[in-house]
Structure 1
Amino acid sequence: MMNIKRQRGIGLVEIMVSMVIALFLLLGIGTIFMTTRSTYGDQQGLSNLQDNERLAMFMLTNVIQIGGYFPDPVTSTAALSLPVTGSYVVAGQAVSGTDGATDIVRARFMTASGDGIANCNGGANTSGANVVYDNVFDISNNTLRCAVNGGNPQPLVTGVSDMQVLYGVDTTSSGSVTQYFAAAAVPNWNNVRSVRITLNFVNPLAAQAGQPATLAFTKTVPVMNKI
């Protein structure tokens, strides 16, 4: 008699083993996907943070450096162009500030019509006459803002939780900064030669273990007409 081998299908054990192997493979692929996605998100967050740091400091630096400028030094002076008014308690004063949970810093300058010098909101003087711009920077709802000449504050950069400002003062008439003061302690605003700004940015990695909630970025900005 011929030996006829009976054909057999896949058994339950083989099916279970295959399913377990497939699950492990899917778990590995899912883990790789989630890790890659998380890494990409972290890199994107850090990239946005660096862009915000550069942009915020660029805007503050541009305006504060111009502080005290006036267009015609031959026939005028800083004291005549920038008289005592509001927060500016000394004639010719270029910068001012207010201490608080988050500080406020102001810078003013005079522009001539058509000279292309922009205020903190990007506007330029086309009035046909000289105009003084008072630029007021503050922080609200994690946003750096600026208001011009008492207007509504305009948002500039998001992700900024706090701003602390110190003013470099020449206390000995040496021509150089000798000491830094908070706004309320500045002895003579016309002797302020630089402004030291510390911005605290929301850390995009704050949810990770060991990461701080904010990251500080500090820059010292010279005041043009006091260099």
Structure 2
Amino acid sequence: MKIILKQPRGLSLIELLVAMTITMILLGGIYQVFISSTNAYSRNESLSRVQENGRFAMHVIREAVVGAGFLGCSQEPANYTSILSDEDDYHINYAVPIQGLEWVPDNPGTADELIDGAWEDDGGVVDPATIDEFNLTDPLTGSDILTVRHVITGQAFDLSADMGGPSANISTEDDLGLQDDQLMLIADCEASTLFRVDHYDDATGVVNPDGDLSKAYAEGAQLYLPRTSSFYIRTNSAGEPALYRRVTDAADPEELVEGVENMQVRYGVDTDGDRAADDYDAANDVSDWTDVVSVRIGLLLRSPNDMTHAEFNNSTYRVDDTDIDAPGDDRRFRMVMSTTIGLRNRLR
């Protein structure tokens, strides 16, 4: 009888192990490519969000700072007069175009320097009650506060007739909706005067000032709405740090952009009268705010969410001349943005 031997079919154990090993290597490579792509996408998305937020924050601050001190056609501070009894109050002191508060830690260089300390101006420590008078709400410790004063250039109303004297009524446009006790600035190219509206007649456009002006203004002079804007860092309703702006007479501060952890401000001071910055000082080192001609802003921004597969962030960031430590308990992307802005109405 003839015996027929069948040829073995399929894979041997060794071949199977080799195939499995190759498959594992390929899968591992694919996984690494996937992880790398995910990390790159997460980082790029975080970078994009942070850059977008930073550009917007700087744009808003720049617009305010550039126009600081604008009080109509007459640009000389000596030509400005206020007839208010409370003219030196922080939020209506338009003789000073820009002002700020510096956060001064009790123990610089320690983990508590962003928590323990106080805000200071050129006169020293500012108490919390005074912070409330600045129209601020819950400013985040560790960051500086910047205040800018000017008039709204897009809302100027022409006088339609000469004033009969400094105590006379002002004739302007009707139906402006001005309110009693509202702040107004009247200006021509020789002088400007800050006053409160005693009464405004919507039908006739006649404004009764609450007091005698510095002069009798002629037809063609203009009325402006003054504005004080304070920029500061505060925690929003979602528990995230954000850049806020408080505008004169606004009921509440306005959140501008989320993810701004810290703001540091230095003021360019003209020490020799040539209208150019000679030194950049902290707010508590500025002896005369009318000498400030530029501002240097530094912002520390962070991404809205943790980056995928990133390490905990325990880096130290240099914001202007202040070192800020990341908390070390998140994986957020952080970036420092800085710029120097000139006060158009103070530079040569």
Question: What's the TM-score, normalizing by structure 1?
Answer: 0.79
Distance 1:210 1:7 in 2: 65
Tell me the CA shift for residue 153 of structure 1.
1.9
1:12-27 to structure 2, matched below 5 A, reads 13=13, 14-27=15-28
Residues 201 and 215, structure 1, Cα contact 8 Å, conserved in 2: yes
Deviations 1:135-183 (A, max 9, x none): 1100123211111115322221222211111111112223222222211
Tell me the CA shift for residue 185 of structure 1.
2.1
Distance 1:96 1:65 in 2: 14
1:41 matches 2:42: yes
Q: Residue type matched to 1:215 in 2?
A: M
SS in 2 for 1:36: helix
Distance 1:45 1:69, change over 3 A: same
Distance 1:91 1:24, change over 3 A: closer
SS in 2 for 1:4: coil
1:93-108 to structure 2, matched below 5 A, reads 93-100=96-103, 101-108=142-149
Residues 94 and 149, structure 2, Cα contact 8 Å, conserved in 1: no
Deviations 1:50-97 (A, max 9, x none): 2222211111111111111123439x9762379734226865211111
Tell me the CA shift for residue 47 of structure 1.
2.1
Distance 1:178 1:66, change over 3 A: same
Q: Which protein is richer in strand relative to its size?
A: 2
Aligned to 1:215: 335
1:1-227 to structure 2, matched below 5 A, reads 4-11=4-11, 13=13, 14-73=15-74, 79-80=80-81, 84-87=87-90, 92-100=95-103, 101-111=142-152, 114=155, 127=177, 130-141=224-235, 142-151=241-250, 152-202=252-302, 207=311, 212=316, 213=326, 214-227=334-347
Runs of at least 5 residues in structure 2 that lack an aligned partner in the other structure? 104-141, 157-175, 179-222, 236-240, 317-325, 327-333
Distance 2:336 2:83 in 1: 33
Q: Residue type matched to 1:140 in 2?
A: R
SS in 1 for 2:246: strand
Q: Residue type matched to 2:344 in 1?
A: M
Distance 2:247 2:92 in 1: 18
Taking only the aligned residue pairs, the percentage that are identical comes to 27
SS in 2 for 1:130: strand
Aligned length: 216
Deviations 1:173-221 (A, max 9, x none): 2322222221122111111111111112237878378954453322111
Residues 66 and 341, structure 2, Cα contact 8 Å, conserved in 1: yes
Higher relative contact order (CA 8 A, sep 6+): 2
